[in-house]
Amino acid sequence: MRLTQSRYFKAFSEPLIQNNPISMQMLGICSALAVTVQLKTAIVMGLSLTFVLAFSNLTISSMRHVIPRNIRMIVELSVIASLVIIADQVLRAFFYDISKQLSVFVGLIITNCIVMGRAETFALGNPPGLSFLDGLGNGAGYGSVLISVALIREVLGAGKFLGIGIIPESLYRAGYENMGFMQLAPAAFIIIGLLVWLQKSLVKN
Amino acid sequence: MSDNFRSILFAMGTALICSLLLTAASSGLKPYQQENIDVDRKKNILKAIGLVEDSRSYTFDDIKSMYAANITCMQVDSQGQAMQKGDTGGGGLPVYLYTQNGTVAAYVLPINSRGLWGRIHGYLALESDGSTVSGFTVYQHSETPGLGGEIEKNWFQKNFKGKRIIDQSGGFVSVGIAKPAVTVSMTAVEKANYVDGISGATLTGRFLSAGLKEILSEYEPVSIRFRSKGMLTVPQDRQTCEDGQ
């Protein structure tokens, strides 16, 4: 069996494009609007969500035979909430500036539908290794959309790439101006909409 | 073993493990977080007096050495008199002094005001004339992002620079947040005491205005001393603040 056809590879690669949590399943849109003004915050947010998702899938999947069915959601939520708080504490300790910019949005990963959704639909029915890869794949799929949106918004809206100015001074003197609209939340809506359109038409063919 | 009992036991086990993990993470990372918060506070004091710009990035050591070179902290009593070392009269108010070539160029008051969802912590810097605001910063708050949370943004804070805490005849009026923008509703005289409000954050503005007024009137004896040029050097024998500066 070739690598690309193994179910492990599929668990990781499907959520990247074909079944992307944001652009195909329309989950986690709220944070995608809020943290994509700058590339830096988008990358950190993508990494935090990937961490939480991979480890919550791993933990819940390894406990899937012992979790009593009637309290499974409560158990899932306490696992997710603990991981989110750990991620938030680590950011506060080592990336204080970014954690201030992300403000409540790291904490709100708890309510991100992707995490709960993957725990319910995938981790409860699959072995830990597969679930871990599924978490990584979904996190990467989420992160990649966030990063594409943030890239467009930061370059067009602020003329910067990772905080470094990339639009040459001469262009500004020639009358070029940053698009202030890109800094506002509606711009993210439009860009995500365009990405979804692009992706759906690509995947169909 | 009944199903319910098993569920309760399992829930308790999960809760115990999660809480142990969280305790370990929180107490293990505390020193790092504390240092971040300390440096961030110092950075905000420096930003309030205009030494730190938003567009540049600074290392921890930059901030610490800049702080040590420019800022001294002392305690004043309720009459605005600098407290002496070992003075335990109580009620000391911390004032951060920015000295340039031995004279005080500005003084910074810690702000701890009520907000809509929690306390707002920041600094308000006043020039040594005792009446002109030289900067305002916020380093901790729990206001709604995008609405009241805009108080931490530069566009809001930069409007404080140059505002006055006294009216034309010299009486104390504090500096407040207007609703709506100052250009719409105010006379030229009033404009000197107000900054533009934030749309969608009326209550945050109202609470912060009240908080600033309360704090500024508490510190008014100090400001009066500055206005009469009575506090232009750092007292040698002064009561230092808690952070040992």
How would DSSP label each residue in A50-105? HHHHHHHHHHHHHTTTTS-GGGHHHHHHHHHHHHHHHHHHHHHHH-HHHHHHHTHH
Distance from C-alpha of B133 to C-alpha of B165, rounded to nearest angstrom:
7
Q: What is the pTM of this model?
A: 0.79
* Low-confidence spans in chain A with pLDDT less than 50: none
- From the list B219, B234, B228, B243, the residue with the least C-alpha distance to B98 is B234
Distance from C-alpha of A73 to C-alpha of B239, rounded to nearest angstrom:
56
**Taking the CA of residue B126 as centre, how many other CA atoms within 13 Å lie in the half-sphere pointing to its CB?**
25
**Size of chain B in residues:** 245
- Give the per-residue pLDDT at B182: 67
User: Whole-angstrom distance between the N-terminal and C-terminal Cα of chain A?
Assistant: 26
Q: What is the ipTM of this complex?
A: 0.75
CB A80 within 8 A of CB A48: no
- From the list A12, A2, A38, the residue with the least C-alpha distance to A139 is A12
Q: Does A1 touch chain B (CB under 8 A)?
A: no
CB A142 within 8 A of CB A21: yes
Residue with tokens 């040992």: B244
- Give the per-residue pLDDT at B169: 82
The tokens for A176 are: 């070029």
Q: Does A82 touch chain B (CB under 8 A)?
A: yes
- From the list B102, B113, B86, B134, the residue with the least C-alpha distance to B240 is B86
The phi and psi torsions of A146 (rounded to 5 degrees) equal -55, -45
- Give the per-residue pLDDT at B167: 85
Per-residue pLDDT of chain B (245 residues; tens, 9 = 90+): 688 888 999 999 999 999 999 999 999 999 999 998 889 899 999 998 888 887 777 888 888 888 888 888 888 887 777 777 766 656 678 889 888 887 888 899 999 999 898 999 999 999 988 889 999 999 888 888 778 888 988 889 998 988 888 888 888 888 888 876 666 667 777 788 888 888 888 899 999 999 999 999 988 888 888 888 777 777 777 777 765 44
What pairs with residue B93 in β-bridges? B76
Q: Does B25 touch chain A (CB under 8 A)?
A: yes
Distance from C-alpha of A66 to C-alpha of B172, rounded to nearest angstrom:
68
Distance from C-alpha of A102 to C-alpha of A85, rounded to nearest angstrom:
14
Subunit contact B145:A104, Cβ cutoff 8 A: yes
List C-alpha distances in Å: A176 to A158, A166, A171, A182: 12, 13, 6, 15
CB A183 within 8 A of CB A153: yes
Determine the residue among A60, A66, A78, A183 to mutate to test chain B binding: the one whose Cβ has the most chain B Cβ atoms within 10 Å: A78
CB B216 within 8 A of CB B224: no
Percentage, residues of chain A above pLDDT 90: 32
Residue of B nearest to A92 (CA): B33
Query: Chain A partners of B26 at a C-beta cutoff of 8 Å?
Result: 89
Q: Does B3 touch chain A (CB under 8 A)?
A: yes
Query: Chain A partners of B155 at a C-beta cutoff of 8 Å?
Result: none
Closest Cα of chain A to B22: distance in Å? Answer: 7
Subunit contact B10:A79, Cβ cutoff 8 A: no
- From the list B130, B134, B119, B114, the residue with the least C-alpha distance to B45 is B134
CB A49 within 8 A of CB A145: no
Query: Which of residues 146 through 205 in chain B touch A, CB cutoff 8 A?
Result: 146, 149
Question: How remote is the C-alpha of A73 from its chain's centroid?
Answer: 22
- Give the per-residue pLDDT at A2: 67
- Give the per-residue pLDDT at B244: 42
Distance from C-alpha of A112 to C-alpha of A124, rounded to nearest angstrom:
18
